[in-house]
Amino acid sequence: MFKALVLNQEEKKTIATIEQLDDSHLPEGDVLIDVDYSSLNYKDGLAITGKGKIIRNFPMVPGIDLAGTVVSSEDNRYQTGDKVVLTGWGVGENHWGGMAQRARLKADWLVPLPTGFDSKKAMMVGTAGFTAMLCVQALLDADVKPESGEILVTGASGGVGSVAVTLLAQLGYKVAAVTGRVEQNGPLLEKLGASRIIDRTEFEEPARPLEKQIWAGAVDTVGSKVLAKVLAQMDYNSAVAACGLAGGFDLPTTVMPFILRNVRLQGIDSVMCPTEKRIAAWEKLVELLPESFYQQACTEVELDEAPKYADDITNGQVTGRVVIKL
């Protein structure tokens, strides 16, 4: 028997309960895994609270990522005892996910845990950190260099934002962090490497089509009017990696930054990211994240605490990363 957080729907409300299940309950797949850790991402928050239409088939075990140990495998790429990590592919949305002590998954979805890493650290990074790495990689691919100028990160104290700040600082960029919680999280963001902290209210005023050029690059996790403001302030030939919608999925902007300043807006999706790119991103995360990141920006909770933290993350009240010990 193993413990799982199970979501059901009753009268259009999502109900989360801890249940004892056995392997026969698990969905089909070719690798059976003992889950060591999962993590809490914004999408998990929407799924567990029912605030977002993430899950269409109930019952569902949430958890869009996990790290664990292979129990048995029908695929010769994985053997009993191997350490693996999973993010995305719709796991925790339409296939039972990481918030259970056991999972059965497709081998194609897995990535071997990088050498020098453990399951807990992998989930301290999790989908949010992996996505932050894809955003930073997009800026590197766009040839944005440390000497090009300052890089802006929005939603900076969240999961994606806090890892993006850390990675960019480690790569030698000068990082400005936008947060709605300057007093609460400013000191942490400075420790992670931000050289200045900007209050989110400055980014919530309606943007003019073009404003003073300030940023050589940006990682945006917020969307909506904040991203519109960021675009209006981008330097000539700069790039923005946009991955999130914490502030809304609309984008009230104009074409001006694109056609007059050669600004590139690169969308980032972590869910369907090809395996080769995943492996490279994980290796780079292991290389770049300092030990201090794991001590400063992460909280560990038990499975039965996940619903409370799920509510908090949808209210923008979580700082850094939350990992769930299975």
Rule CB under 6 A: which residues touch ligand NAP? 41-43, 127-128, 131, 155-161, 179-181, 185, 200, 221-222, 226, 243-247, 268-271, 313, 316, 318
Q: How far is the CB of 9 from ligand NAP (least distance, A)?
A: 21
- Residue for token digits 């936008």? 178
CA 211 to chain centre: 30
Q: How far is the CB of 70 from ligand NAP (least distance, A)?
A: 25
Nearer to ligand NAP, 83 or 181 (CB): 181
* 282, 134 Cβ separation under 8 angstroms: no
CA dist 68 and 103 (Å) reads: 9
Structure-token pair, residue 314: 């949808």
Q: In what order do the strands lie in the sheet with 215-220?
A: 194-199, 175-179, 151-153, 215-220, 234-242, 264-267
CA dist 184 and 193 (Å) reads: 16
Q: How far is the CB of 171 from ligand NAP (least distance, A)?
A: 19
Q: How far is the CB of 161 from ligand NAP (least distance, A)?
A: 6
Nearer to ligand NAP, 73 or 131 (CB): 131
Q: How far is the CB of 45 from ligand NAP (least distance, A)?
A: 7
- Hey, which residues does 265 pair with through a beta bridge? 240
Structure-token pair, residue 190: 């400075």
199, 205, 195: which is closest to 183 by C-alpha?
199
Nearer to ligand NAP, 5 or 163 (CB): 163
- Hey, which residues does 199 pair with through a beta bridge? 179
Q: How far is the CB of 315 from ligand NAP (least distance, A)?
A: 8
- Hey, which residues does 59 pair with through a beta bridge? none
Nearer to ligand NAP, 48 or 318 (CB): 318
Residue nearest to ligand NAP (CB): 158
Nearer to ligand NAP, 43 or 261 (CB): 43
Cβ atoms within 10 Å, residue 92: 31
Nearer to ligand NAP, 92 or 155 (CB): 155
Residue 158 phi/psi, 5° resolution? -80, 180
